[in-house]
Structure 1
């Protein structure tokens, strides 16, 4: 499973992105931390998600996990919550390395910082995945609410050539290779 989806991503969506995508606002105009904001986030993201994916769709989940148990900015983020939701799924894992370039002002040189992280993969029919709880957990993360999901979760359909990524309560991205698929998501949102 993991080899298939990694090859697919490399050939279709390098770095889990594409030039063709839409970004959707989820939290505005409500203030951070309010119930109104969180309720709106969950309603908007669920509506978009259900326009993009149907219950019988087969999807991959690509989960980027830095395996940080204590987040300095947001406190304890219930790091195992996502995996408790996926307890009935077959999860495969791979360790990857990300190289970031940073500028050292003291030495005036560019340095490379190597960050190791785990990627976990799930392949399932959507109806067996508690996506509403996952999306709500992602929305909770930066709001300091629990349960929260601090991992980056990408929902990928190889049949539809789509990636759905809610990055936090501010917004989500839908990447595609087909403009028509993005238009359907956009029309359903407005």
Structure 2
């Protein structure tokens, strides 16, 4: 991380914290308040998020899956949280847990709060990524299964980080523009208009 993303914290908003990145819009037409499983809104959210993920992460590629859990109470390691998203118990048992300073507290502020971070090295094919991405997209919609924690997919070879923050959008950051240029060129219509000018400038340098 420090070699390719110096100073970058794994915390949202990833796009605004990174030097090179794209922010994509997943949910369109502002229908989230009335959506249900199988709705046109959710189908488009799922399609965009999964398409972007699969473009970046071929099945045999090595990934690091990082999950931040912001629980200010005593937290006990619980593999059941991840079991339905990881295909193999052998892979699941390699999950590592660490406790770090609360990532949302300024470094010069005192805090007793902690972020519980889970890290798993695996391949794309080891993850039920479609199920996991759908769960992330449903975190604020009252639809189960849902994943309310921040999940980051780090591509070890291409040095990219992929983060769906909820049904509204997805951030992709990279160590170089070439690593994510295919997304920029092929999925132009999905780029969030609010940040389009900044993103265009980055890729036209």
Change (3 A) 1:48 1:187: same
Q: SS of 1:55's equivalent?
A: coil
For normalisation by structure 1, the TM-score amounts to 0.78
Partner of 1:176: 174
C-alpha separation between the residues in 1 aligned to 2:56 and 2:118? Answer: 22
Partner of 1:5: none
**Greater strand content:** 1
C-alpha separation between the residues in 1 aligned to 2:170 and 2:83? Answer: 21
Listed as ranges, the matches of 1:79-90 within 5 Å are: 81-86=81-86, 88=89, 89=92, 90=94
Structure 1 gap ranges (5+): 1-8, 70-78, 102-109
Change (3 A) 1:10 1:98: farther
CA-atom RMSD, angstroms? 2.3
Change (3 A) 1:10 1:53: same
CA deviation digits over 1:111-146, x for unaligned, max 9?
Answer: 644421210011111011111001000011011111
Structure 2 gap ranges (5+): 74-78, 189-205
Deviates more, 1:60-69 or 1:23-32: 60-69
For normalisation by structure 2, the TM-score amounts to 0.73
Partner of 2:144: 146
Deviates more, 1:110-119 or 1:15-24: 110-119
Listed as ranges, the matches of 1:65-76 within 5 Å are: 65-67=69-71
2:16 matches 1:12: no
Listed as ranges, the matches of 1:30-41 within 5 Å are: 30-33=30-33, 34=35, 35-41=39-45
Deviates more, 1:139-148 or 1:28-37: 28-37
Partner of 2:192: none
Q: Does the aligned pair in 2 maintain the 1:46–1:132 contact within 8 Å?
A: yes
Partner of 1:95: 99
Q: Does the aligned pair in 2 maintain the 1:26–1:45 contact within 8 Å?
A: yes
Partner of 1:61: 65
Q: SS of 1:24's equivalent?
A: strand
Partner of 1:117: 115
C-alpha separation between the residues in 1 aligned to 2:82 and 2:3? Answer: 28
In the alignment of these two chains, the number of paired residues is 165
